[in-house]
Homo-oligomer: A and B are copies of this chain.
């Protein structure tokens, strides 16, 4: 996917919720809600700070990440749906 997010934006492909307990039992997530996890497909250069520095992003392409329910904007690129959000809306990197 050929897309370059601007400044502190990140492009993420949502992943179905793979909820397994340590024992391996898959806990189905309520289908109604969009998964809050996904894989990073593109990362911007980072947020410009008021002193002119750029805050290096702490995520990279391929990272599995968790984010808030209402974060980002859905867009379609070549028929595929991705979500573009600010790095600040990403909670954590998994694994």
| Cβ contact within 8 Å between A92 and B22 | no
Contact status of A2 and B94, CB under 8 A, knowing A50-B50, A52-B53, A84-B66: yes
**Which residues of A pack against B, CB within 8 Å?**
2-7, 9, 11, 19-22, 25, 27, 36, 42, 44-45, 47-53, 55, 58-59, 66, 68, 73, 75-79, 84, 87-88, 90-95
How many of these chains are in the complex? 7
| Cβ contact within 8 Å between B51 and A50 | yes
Question: How long is the Cα–Cα vector from A9 to B68 in the complex, in angstroms?
Answer: 13
Cβ contact of A91, chosen from B19, B48, B84, cutoff 8 A: B84
* Residues of B close to A25: CB separation below 8 A: 79
